[in-house]
Amino acid sequence: MKNRFKKLMLAIFAMTAVAMCVLALAACSGGYVEKLSVKGKMYYMVGDEFAGATLTVTYSDGRREQVDVTADMANGFDTTVAGNKTIAVVYGGKTVAFDITVSELYASGISVADGGKTEYLIGTQYADGDASINVSYTDGTVQTVPITGGMISGLDTTVEGEKTVSVKYGMLDTAYTVTVRYPYVVSATVASSTKSVYRVGDEFGGVTLDVVYEDDTSGSVTLTDIERVKGFDTTGIGPRTVRVTYRNRTVSYDIQVLKAIAGVTVKSSVGMYAKGDAFKGAELAVEYADGTSETVAVTPEMLTEFDTMQVGDRTVKLMFENRELTFGITVYGKFADDGGDNKIQVEDGDLVDMSGAQLQSGAASKFESTTKNAQNEEYSNGAEGSSTANISVQGNKIVIRFIAERAGKYKLGMRAQSGSDAGKSDVKVADAFDIYVNGDIKTASGVIQKGSATGVNWKDMTNWTLLDDLVGEIDIVAGLNEIELAFKGGTAQTMRFPNIDYFVLTAV
Ligand SMILES: [Ca+2]
């Protein structure tokens, strides 16, 4: 029985061994493990499970087989801490090892996400979040991160064009392209100041557009570059339609091309003005290159220098199609009857011309407002403003010259004082000067009494004589009038007359 049991046990063992050989060919069919090699994932994240590996087993009989390496076979596998690890695998009495790297989680790549802003108006700035990046992490996850202004470079919005914007995220970088452009034009209209009348041969004079942009701003743009313009042609006369393009908008406007000008002269002009008058007109003779001519009225807009605020001869300047022309005018004082005394102060240079009055020998001024007494003390002579002085010279002229708004009949008066005969005597006006009214000589009447209140020579010339009718009724005409006082012979040496304070024109 003992042997039978042994035999049975051996049989069972043998059968089992056969079965084992069938189940695991490994070590059964002779040969031993001679060599191992292993291949597996080399990079792990902290916390990763073992991802497996493949063991290649070479037996002594030359046979090879591959065996999966399971976690319990991977000695030394540990992803709890980052670092380089060596994994040892024991099989059939042999050991093989391979290295893995265990890493913390990190961003492994970035790319610009779709849908970001890729168009900027010139002069505008990048705003945080205008674009985003997709950040890929080593664990395979992807996160979208807004791009802030501090992450970008290369977005120059001062100049239009395509720009490459560089994005930096930690050690990673990427780039994307944006377009910087001027705002589109929503509407453009040709300004009224735009030159629309040209002459044959003229060059393009520019066009001004009133423009509204897509960002609701607006402005005025003047284009002078002929390259932007189509339809401009001044080789012949006639109407033209000019098209001008500004950014995304093309605008048309009409011009007229007129005959070329050969020359322009002032044909006629109003020469007489009262102080403060507005322009009264002039005409130009325009000679054209084709031999024809035309008379063109000067408009106030053509005037570049026109001033009637100062009495005297003035030059008026005007521009006619880039040509400067001039003509002369004379500005006179203005007599506007206000219904009162109508005083004309003798010192009023706008109305009284003293240029024809010579000074007496040694005198310094034609006017005075003070009188010196014997002790050389000064006091007013009582004139309104100033009076004439030191002009008792034969042949002198005082001319009252003005433009009257309307014709009328007046009396001529005068406030004066006599200093004749060493400053004491009365003087007949008729002995002192003739009076001409608009060229007609008049017989003067009246006596100017001595100016000295005390009879002392030149001491206190404070008495004044007011004569309200020197020459009877006179005609003042609408327009220019002249009343002339012509000093008579003998006046200079024998009379010190008169000191005149003012004249008066009283309507009759
Ligand atoms: Ca006066």
* 472 Cα to the center of ligand 1, angstroms: 23
Q: Round to whole Å and give the CA distance between 389 and 417.
A: 10
* 421 Cα to the center of ligand 1, angstroms: 23
Q: Are strands 427-428 and 447-448 parallel, antiparallel or unpaired?
A: antiparallel
> Quick one: pLDDT at residue 357?
93
Buried-exposed string 342-368: b where 16+ CB fall within 10 A, e elsewhere: bebbbbbebbbbbeebbeeeeeeebbb
Structure tokens at 275: 């102080």
Structure tokens at 450: 């001595």
* 415 Cα to the center of ligand 1, angstroms: 9
Amino acid letter, residue 52: G
Q: Round to whole Å and give the CA distance between 388 and 501.
A: 7
3-state helix, strand, coil in the chain (%, to 5): 10, 50, 40
Q: Are 370 and 378 in contact (CB under 8 A)?
A: yes
> Quick one: pLDDT at residue 375?
66
Q: Across 337-478, where does the E strand assignment appear?
A: 343-345, 352-353, 367-368, 370-372, 378-380, 387-388, 397-404, 408-417, 427-428, 433-437, 440-442, 447-448, 465-467, 473-476
> Quick one: pLDDT at residue 16?
40
* 457 Cα to the center of ligand 1, angstroms: 22
* 425 Cα to the center of ligand 1, angstroms: 22
DSSP codes joined into one string, 301-351:
GGEEE---SS-EEEEEEEEETTEEEEEEEEEE-EE---SS--EEETT-TTT
**39 forms bridges with which residues in the sheet?**
54
Q: Round to whole Å and give the CA distance between 324 and 328.
A: 14
The residue whose two tokens read 């008026």 is: 316
* 496 Cα to the center of ligand 1, angstroms: 18
Q: How many residues does the chain have?
A: 508
Q: Round to whole Å and give the CA distance between 175 and 194.
A: 46
> Quick one: pLDDT at residue 19?
39
* 498 Cα to the center of ligand 1, angstroms: 13
Mean pLDDT per 10-residue interval, the chain, length 508 residues: 44 40 47 92 88 94 94 93 93 94 87 96 94 91 94 95 95 95 95 94 95 94 91 96 94 96 97 97 96 96 97 97 95 89 94 94 88 71 93 93 95 92 83 94 93 78 94 96 90 74 96
The residue whose two tokens read 């979040």 is: 129
Contacts of 73 (CB under 8 A, 6+ apart): 55, 89, 90, 91
Q: Round to whole Å and give the CA distance between 412 and 402.
A: 14
Contacts of 344 (CB under 8 A, 6+ apart): 335, 351, 352, 400, 402, 502, 503, 504, 505
Which residues have their alpha-adjacent CB atom under 5 A from ion ligand 1? 345, 383-385, 501-502
> Quick one: pLDDT at residue 235?
95
Structure tokens at 286: 């325009």
> Quick one: pLDDT at residue 250?
94
